[in-house]
Each structure stands twice: as structure tokens, then as C-alpha cells.
């Protein structure tokens, strides 16, 4: 817990409001409650800023007129947010063996594992050699966790789930802010990973924790080897994703989808239920209608790709035009 004054001092901010206000955690502007700190980066969110339940917000001077709470006013909101997140990141100290507070329910635990404090392992669960399960994590009944798996702090895994060797659950998300010198500052990710029942996760797959809220993998999902799931992604029930696919942050994928190998999904997108995406496709816009999709282009210089891309979007009109011309010629 930190006071608002302490936080403002950390980022050299102007403080508006009560500097002794106790801040317990960070939250998004829509989800924030009393004693939480949020942030807003643009006027696009002025309505949420005006109505937020947060006790304080990080904002720029231009947004102050929309703010009804205490505020930390800075030039670069995103950079200040990045710096402040590290104040609230729980520290984990790894110990060898099983922490005294862990509840293992007589799970089978192979040699050289580290089981953190306040961790729960379900009945008939098997933990492979050299696996790390950090503090405050929970694994359900009848799970099989392979060797050399890392399940990081606060992760929750349902019943009858299989995680193959080398997977990392709850890794730090790829979030960074630049300062005026073009130096990067990492964002500490404070959310967790929630995995449902009957999920299979392949070898060396990584699932990042959420930035402020959680990353969700719903029940029945199948993830192949070497899949990357970024922060805040939500994957719906019984969706299957093949190897080497990467899904960028804050994307939502519906139920019963099938995504082929080496697919790239741009962040902040929504894919509806019952979508099939063929291998090596790139998804760069929302998919709102169920069906099969393919998006593959051969490698070429970017300028050439831009020109071809414009023509591709006009092919239907070009075809219509040529058909009309051809009909006129035949008529003559």
C-alpha cells in the first residue's frame, strides 16, 4: 500500500487532491473501485473518467476538466503508469522444496520442484520434475503438469488439465513505455492467468499474465506446442490453436474456433464463435461471421505490398467493369 503523495513523488507529478489517500492497487478505468488508482491516456475515455469509481487517476493536464477524483497530473500518462506499476508488483522469493503453507492434497510431486506459499494442489494431481509453482497459485484435481513447467504467481488452473513440459504460465506481458530519450520502461503486469477445466497446453507454450485484469483460457481449450498467448487475451471454450501461432494482447477469441499453425493475430481484436483460420494467415481485423478464413501474402518489398494490397481490395469492382465491357463488345 502506498499514499497518493508517495506515488506522485515517484513520477514527479502534480498532485491534485489528498496526498495521504491510501492506494491499495491499480485497476482499469472501468473496473476501478475505492482506494484504487487508474489511468486515462486520451479524451476518448472522458465519459469513463467522469464516472469512474477509482479514488485517483493518472491523467494529463488536458483531461483534468473531466476528472472528479484526486489526480496525478503528468506529461506522459503511459510512461508514468509504467513506472508506478512496479510499486504494486508482488515480490516472490523462491525456496527449494515445498513451502510449509502449501496445501498439496497428497499430490504426486517429482524431485527438484519448488512449490510456493499459499499454493494449492488438487487431488490426484501429478507435478513433473524441476517444475516451479509460485506463490498463491491453485491447481485443480486430476491435473498433469509436465517437467520444467513454470506456473507463476497467482495463476489458477482448473480440473483435469494437462500442461506439457517447458510451458510457462503467467509470464510477464510485453508492455513497454518510451521516455523522451527513447529509452524503454517495462510495465509490471499485475493481473493473473485463469485456466479452466479440461484444457491441454502444449510443450514450450507461453501464456502471459494480464496487465491489470486477467488472461483467461476457458474450459476445453487445446493449445499446441510453441503457442504464444499475450496479456489480457480471452480464449473461448473448446477452441483449438495449432503450433507457432502468436496472439497479441487484449484479443478475444470465441468458442469452438480452430486456428492453424503459424497464424498471427493482431492485438485488440475480436473473433466470433465457430471460426476456422487456415495456417500462416494474418488476422488484422475483427471477424464477426462464423466460417473459414485465409489471409496469406507472399513476401515482397513493403512498398510493392502496399500497391498490390490496394488492387486486391478493388478486384471485385475491376471484374464487374470488365464483364460490362465484355458484354458491350459481344453486343456489337
Predicted local confidence at residue 312, as pLDDT: 83
Instruction: Say yes or no: 179 and 123 in one domain.
Output: yes
Residue the block writes with cell 517444475: 131
Instruction: Say yes or no: 326 and 183 in one domain.
Output: no
Predicted local confidence at residue 328, as pLDDT: 77
Instruction: Say yes or no: 156 and 26 in one domain.
Output: no
Residue range of the domain that includes 311: 303-331
User: Residue 307: inside a domain, yes or no?
Assistant: yes
**Model confidence at 118, in pLDDT bands (50, 70, 90)?**
very high
Mean pLDDT of 128-135: 97
| 183 tagged catalytic | no
Average pLDDT of the chain is 94
Whether 305 shows a pLDDT value over 90: the answer reads no
Instruction: Say yes or no: 316 and 267 in one domain.
Output: no
Instruction: Say yes or no: 121 and 249 in one domain.
Output: yes
Q: What is the CATH number of the domain that holds 239?
A: 2.160.10.10
CB atoms within 10 A of CB 247: 26
Q: pTM for this structure?
A: 0.89
Instruction: Say yes or no: 39 and 121 in one domain.
Output: no
Mean pLDDT of 124-128: 98
- 132-139: long-range contacts, CB 8 A cutoff, minimum separation 24: 132/94, 134/92, 134/94, 134/170, 135/90, 135/92, 135/99, 136/90, 137/170, 139/107
Instruction: Say yes or no: 106 and 84 in one domain.
Output: no
User: Residue 298: inside a domain, yes or no?
Assistant: no
Whether 287 shows a pLDDT value over 90: the answer reads yes
Query: How many residues appear in the chain?
Result: 332
Instruction: Say yes or no: 19 and 160 in one domain.
Output: no
Instruction: Say yes or no: 206 and 310 in one domain.
Output: no
Give 148-182 pLDDT, tens digit per residue.
Answer: 999 999 999 999 999 999 999 999 999 999 999 99
Number of domains, the chain: 3
Q: Which of 231, 268, 302, 328 is catalytic?
A: 231
Instruction: Say yes or no: 246 and 159 in one domain.
Output: yes
Query: Taking Cα atoms as reference points, which of 7, 34, 38 lies closest to residue 20?
Result: 7
Whether 293 shows a pLDDT value over 70: the answer reads yes
CA angle 277, 199, 145 (to 5 degrees): 130
Predicted local confidence at residue 298, as pLDDT: 67
Last residue of some domain: 35, 55, 88? 88
Amino acid at each position: 500500500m502506498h499514499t497518493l503523495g508517495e506515488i506522485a513523488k515517484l513520477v514527479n507529478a502534480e498532485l491534485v487532491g489528498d496526498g495521504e489517500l491510501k492506494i491499495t492497487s491499480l485497476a482499469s478505468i472501468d473496473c476501478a473501485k475505492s482506494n484504487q488508482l487508474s489511468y486515462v491516456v486520451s479524451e476518448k475515455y472522458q465519459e469513463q473518467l467522469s464516472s469512474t469509481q477509482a479514488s485517483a487517476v493518472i491523467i494529463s493536464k488536458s483531461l483534468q476538466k473531466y476528472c472528479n477524483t484526486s489526480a496525478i497530473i503528468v506529461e506522459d500518462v503511459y510512461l508514468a503508469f509504467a513506472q508506478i506499476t512496479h510499486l504494486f508488483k508482488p515480490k516472490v522469493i523462491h525456496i527449494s522444496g515445498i513451502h510449509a503453507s502449501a496445501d498439496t492434497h497428497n499430490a504426486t510431486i517429482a524431485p527438484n520442484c519448488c512449490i510456493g506459499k499459499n499454493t494449492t494442489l488438487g487431488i490426484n494431481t501429478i507435478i513433473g520434475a524441476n517444475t516451479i509453482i509460485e506463490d498463491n497459485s491453485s491447481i485443480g484435481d486430476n491435473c498433469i503438469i509436465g517437467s520444467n513447467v513454470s506456473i507463476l504467481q497467482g495463476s489458477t488452473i482448473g480440473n483435469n488439465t494437462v500442461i506439457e513440459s517447458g510451458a510457462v504460465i503467467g509470464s510477464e506481458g510485453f508492455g513497454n513505455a518510451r521516455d523522451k530519450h527513447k529509452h524503454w520502461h517495462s510495465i509490471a503486469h499485475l493481473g493473473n492467468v485463469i485456466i479452466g477445466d479440461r484444457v491441454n497446453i502444449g510443450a514450450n507454450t507461453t501464456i502471459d499474465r494480464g496487465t491489470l485484469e486477467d488472461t483467461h483460457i476457458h474450459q476445453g481449450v487445446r493449445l499446441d506446442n510453441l503457442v504464444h498467448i499475450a496479456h489480457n487475451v480471452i480464449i473461448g471454450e473448446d477452441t483449438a490453436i495449432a503450433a507457432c501461432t502468436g496472439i497479441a494482447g487484449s484479443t478475444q477469441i470465441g468458442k469452438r474456433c480452430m486456428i492453424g499453425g503459424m497464424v498471427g493475430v493482431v492485438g485488440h481484436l475480436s473473433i466470433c464463435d465457430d471460426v476456422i483460420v487456415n495456417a500462416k494467415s494474418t488476422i488484422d481485423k475483427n471477424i464477426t461471421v462464423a466460417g473459414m478464413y485465409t489471409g496469406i501474402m507472399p513476401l515482397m518489398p513493403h512498398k510493392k505490398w502496399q500497391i498490390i494490397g490496394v488492387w486486391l481490395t478493388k478486384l471485385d469492382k475491376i471484374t464487374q467493369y470488365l464483364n460490362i465491357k465484355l458484354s458491350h463488345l459481344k453486343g456489337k
